[in-house]
Amino acid sequence: MRKLVIVDDNPLERNGLRNLIDWESIGIAIVGDFRNGKHALEHIPDLEPDIVLTDIQMPIMNGIELTKRLNALQKRAQVVFMSSYEHFEYARSAVTLGVEEYILKPVHKDDLLETFGAIVKKLELQEQARRERDEILQQIERAAPLLREQLFRELLFHGASESAEERLRLAGVRPAYGAHYCVGCVELDGTAHAGALESVIVSHAVKSFAQAACTAAATVIAIELTSRSYAVAAVLDSARAPSEDAVVDLFIKLQEHLSIAYAVSASIGISTIGERLGELPRLYAEASEAIRSDYLSGSGHIVPYRLVRDESDAMDMIPFGSLHACVREALHSDEAAAADRIMRQFVHARPNPSKRYIEGLRISLINSIQLLFIDGNHRFKPEASALMQLSGEGAPGIAEWIASVIRIAKTALYPQTKDQYDRIVDDITAFVQERYHEPLTLQNIADAIYLSPSHMNNIFKAKMGKSVFDYLIELRIEAAKRKLINPYSKIYLVAQEVGYANKSHFCQVFKKYTGATPSEFKHRASVI
């Protein structure tokens, strides 16, 4: 039931309004009636009505003043004005104060039923919207740690998009103006692979430390890269750049936390301090460079990037965007061929790639697959963790390892028994059937399924016996034939509806595929 209070200085009219309609039949309960605005205002906070039906002209406090006071108190009650005077000033006051309903006296039964029925429905919709919003906010709050991890993974490897700051706020991260950023790469020491349970425990330890390290002046997010490596991003809300000592101290505490509580030794590389969100990929590259450097040997070390910075190392940076595109295409092709393409583009193309570069390529490839797993709501399965190290020496070992990682990723992402090329063909046909009426190009279609146009066309032709372009044309012509059967159809409109901006071109293609012009086909259809 919606609660209603009536405010009118005439007791007969108040009583008449109570009895004019069956209020309960439209979902309203009258919880009080009052002789003026001041009298009503004394009781409204306790009654908490949903609707206030008030006269405008009253002694002591009129309806307009009452509404102003309710607005000042931020009461969400829906106010309905009533008055014997149809006056522009009253109507203007109603609009200014946010009052949407205005009833003239004498009040009629039908007016009340119509007005308050609509108000009840509106209040129900508003309440439903509030419930849905609260539920969404609760879901966002529950999912905030996962959202933060996923968002910062994208920021580290792809950089900041236009919506990045808005998505940060949704994930509970609100960088202040002048915020600074720092990234640490954490790698567990030792060569032995932990079991699945131990990996989960350590992952929880790193992420719980990051959550506990969050303060009003800093947000810390841990991103699991592999079962033995993590990226830790720190957002520091400080107008002045924080000192390196303060940043290093944060990672010393993480290292101590892992060592004391879990008997785990970790080495950490720390980036310099950046001033923009878009610098995160560079900061991550610096931290990765520091952890892979030979500056300190052994285990359990913390290495700031500034100690190992060298302009000659620029050649060792991995072009992640190009690698990610290559990996995405590799998941739809033969593993050995995919490994060969990656080797040609990222290993053989470089003169004498350093051990540090190969290690960076390994980590970057794993991170690329992690991003694709997240996009597909998947996660690396335990057996994939066994491939965190290269499987052999030299180029053959690297290629074998790349092929193995791609094979495991494909198995996890596409567990169905259906042939992988069949899935690609299904994706192509579904996209073309949905969008054939648009001015499509092979590049448009290829982009939609993350393949190169030539590779996509080869797969499609091998499975379907025709090119993607031929399939698109056949689909358009069949659609045109169905439309031309309609005696009222116009050829130029049909051409546009099936994806041809030029009528002459449409007519040429139509005749090539059917042996008749659209006009001839239309005539034959009408005779039949």
Which is higher by pLDDT, 278 or 378? Answer: 278
- DSSP H or E run through 31: strand 28-34
- How confident is the model over 257-307, as pLDDT tens digits? 888 877 888 889 999 998 888 888 899 988 988 887 765 555 677 888 887
Mean of all residue pLDDT scores within the chain: 80
Beta strands of 62-152 (E only): which ranges? 78-83, 101-104
How far is it, in rounded angstroms, from Cα 45 to Cα 42? 7
- φ/ψ of 214, rounded to 5, equals -70, 135
Percentage of the chain beyond pLDDT 70 is 81
The reported pLDDT for the residue numbered 311 is 42
pLDDT band at 33 (very low <50, low <70, confident <90, very high): very high
- For the domain spanning 420-527, the CATH number is 1.10.10.60
Domain 2-107 grouped into CATH 3.40.50.2300: yes
DSSP code of residue 334 = -
- How confident is the model over 166-215, as pLDDT tens digits? 766 766 676 656 788 899 999 887 644 556 667 778 888 888 888 787 77
- How confident is the model over 221-242, as pLDDT tens digits? 888 888 788 999 888 876 666 7
Min mean pLDDT across 60-69, 112-121, 243-252 is at 243-252
Domain 143-309 grouped into CATH 3.30.70.270: yes
The reported pLDDT for the residue numbered 16 is 93
How far is it, in rounded angstroms, from Cα 409 to Cα 390? 16
Is the CB of residue 328 less than 8 Å from the CB of residue 372? yes
| Tokens at 121, concatenated | 């429905």
| Tokens at 53, concatenated | 């039906």
Measured from the Cβ of residue 261, the count of other Cβ atoms closer than 10 Å reads 11
Is the CB of residue 123 less than 8 Å from the CB of residue 26? no
- How confident is the model over 78-114, as pLDDT tens digits? 899 888 765 546 656 666 677 768 888 888 899 899 9
Separation of first and last alpha carbons in the chain: 64
How far is it, in rounded angstroms, from Cα 190 to Cα 71? 66
The reported pLDDT for the residue numbered 60 is 93
- How confident is the model over 395-437, as pLDDT tens digits? 777 888 888 788 877 777 765 444 667 778 888 999 999 888 8
Residue ranges per structural domain of the chain:
2-107, 143-309, 320-413, 420-527
pLDDT band at 312 (very low <50, low <70, confident <90, very high): very low
